[in-house]
Structure 1
């Protein structure tokens, strides 16, 4: 199998749409379909079954998907290793960023800095905010952009606020939520507490267990688009609603919107590298301009 075959299997499992992965890989749908047929002939098995709702992976296909994850991880490790060798002469900055911040804001915020520092290599680590905070304290990150208030014993600058939303396929009444299926996703404990507190204030009960935990929030959006389920989450103002979902603000009893803070944090230390100090100064200036 070709390297591109593993990427096709991996992407198809995540999107369940030949149309979408054809667009992602800049190929025609017929080319993707033909390549799947060739793979099935070579491996003497069915990888997917076509249905009106999309593709469904067979047992053999699920096995191949798991192997594709390993293959792509290995490929990434090789590329990272080669990049590290090429960039030994460069200065490195390791930045932690919460997933939604990295997706919607980080690269715009860093654009001018990167252009002014072509010999600086920036590595971005995406994890939950509580994990990023601990990585920073352990010296594994130079700076971090996090959601929620993990700011003890670090310098911190307020970036913005993100509003809480009830996300569903169609608009729903808040009082109907206890009778609907809730999807959970991977987020930090302070965000979970904020959502649970909102639920307690609305219904006077503990928030019920989610019927489904999808890991990444992107998978939650996809699942909501295909069923009568909902998600409680926080989204930035520049969120791209590609599934055309209903976004209803999570309101407090006084009518204000539930929100969480986004922070830029870095350790309190004297012997920081000059390039990291330069980045901190750059971000501080951007915060002043935005403010």
Structure 2
């Protein structure tokens, strides 16, 4: 199995049509079909079914597509890092969940990009386990993780801002008219919680919430879809502040009492050899943190 074959396969997956993929790849359709057949023969399985409306991935095809994207991304990243010359250029791969702390990384990149416009940023959004998986595989340069998280296995920086916890609820709900909510308010309320939060004993202790006794009506990985459940009146989403813009909407964020905040850490693998763009970004982030410390002093 060669990288070029994987690129051909991914082009067909993207276009859902062999003819269009061949045109984009600038090869003949028969040549592309032969490459795909060789790939199927080598993997001893059918990767997609051909239908009048286009190609449909099989279960094996879906699996290969996911792994192929990772392999091609990593290969491109290696080539870029090894061929970077004196002028700083290349890609930065950063993954994280939904947190406003990502803004501090983006602001550092913005300042860096003004001096090094040949560097591009590639942001991957996902839950904590997804981010760690891609970081450990070398696909990401950095990951953003929200405490409680054991950062001892990674190099890490604590970012300057902390996120406040509360609920996302409807403005016309009685809880939406309160300035704060506590464990007693939520004891019998239908809750929508993140997959990460539900297993965190430390978080439960901070908030006084007993998830085993709570009315959990749903879980989420990323908050946008959970906000749709809230809009439909299915429950209240336990979440971080400022992830969903509630201005002028039927939704509102109500903070928890007692006040519960979580710090965010930028992490990277201890054994990783960072690319020049990644090292430069760390310099900019460290500079920002030092400026913040000086301001707070």
**Deviation for aligned residue 1:244:** 4.8
Residues 171 and 246, structure 1, Cα contact 8 Å, conserved in 2: no
What is the aligned residue count?
Answer: 207
Give, in whole Å, the separation in 1 of the partners of 2:121 and 2:220. 29
Structure 1 length normalisation: TM-score? 0.58
**Deviation for aligned residue 1:245:** 2.7
Instruction: Label 1:126 to 1:198 Cα distance change in 2 as closer, same or farther (>3 A).
Output: same
**Deviation for aligned residue 1:262:** 0.6
Give, in whole Å, the separation in 2 of the partners of 1:156 and 1:244. 38
The aligned counterpart of 2:153 is 153
Instruction: Label 1:189 to 1:130 Cα distance change in 2 as closer, same or farther (>3 A).
Output: farther
**Deviation for aligned residue 1:100:** 3.1
Encode CA deviations 1:167-191: one digit per residue, 9 max, x unaligned. 2213526434232221234x43588
Give, in whole Å, the separation in 2 of the partners of 1:163 and 1:112. 27
The aligned counterpart of 2:118 is 119
Give, in whole Å, the separation in 2 of the partners of 1:131 and 1:226. 28
Give, in whole Å, the separation in 2 of the partners of 1:122 and 1:163. 27
Instruction: Label 1:125 to 1:267 Cα distance change in 2 as closer, same or farther (>3 A).
Output: same
Give, in whole Å, the separation in 2 of the partners of 1:208 and 1:133. 29
Instruction: Label 1:189 to 1:214 Cα distance change in 2 as closer, same or farther (>3 A).
Output: closer
Matches within 5 A, 1:11-50: none
Matches within 5 A, 1:54-133: 90-101=89-100, 106-133=105-132
Where does structure 1 lack aligned partners over 5 or more consecutive residues? 1-66
Residue 188 (str. 1) matches residue 207 (str. 2)? no
Instruction: Label 1:132 to 1:104 Cα distance change in 2 as closer, same or farther (>3 A).
Output: same
The aligned counterpart of 1:138 is 137
Residues 188 and 214, structure 2, Cα contact 8 Å, conserved in 1: no
The aligned counterpart of 2:188 is 179
Residue 165 (str. 1) matches residue 166 (str. 2)? yes
SS at structure 2 position matched to 1:158: strand
The aligned counterpart of 2:281 is 279
Structure with max Cα Rg: 2
The aligned counterpart of 2:10 is none
Instruction: Decide which of 207, 210, 214 is 1:208's aligned counterpart.
Output: 214
Give every structure 1 segment of 4 or more consecutive aligned residues whose post-TM-superposition deviation is greater than 6 Å: none
The aligned counterpart of 1:42 is none
Structure 2 length normalisation: TM-score? 0.57
Residues 104 and 239, structure 1, Cα contact 8 Å, conserved in 2: no
Encode CA deviations 1:73-107: one digit per residue, 9 max, x unaligned. 99xx8xx99xx7xx967522211222334875543
Instruction: Label 1:278 to 1:206 Cα distance change in 2 as closer, same or farther (>3 A).
Output: same
Give, in whole Å, the separation in 1 of the partners of 2:201 and 2:223. 17
Where does structure 2 lack aligned partners over 5 or more consecutive residues? 1-56, 84-88, 176-180
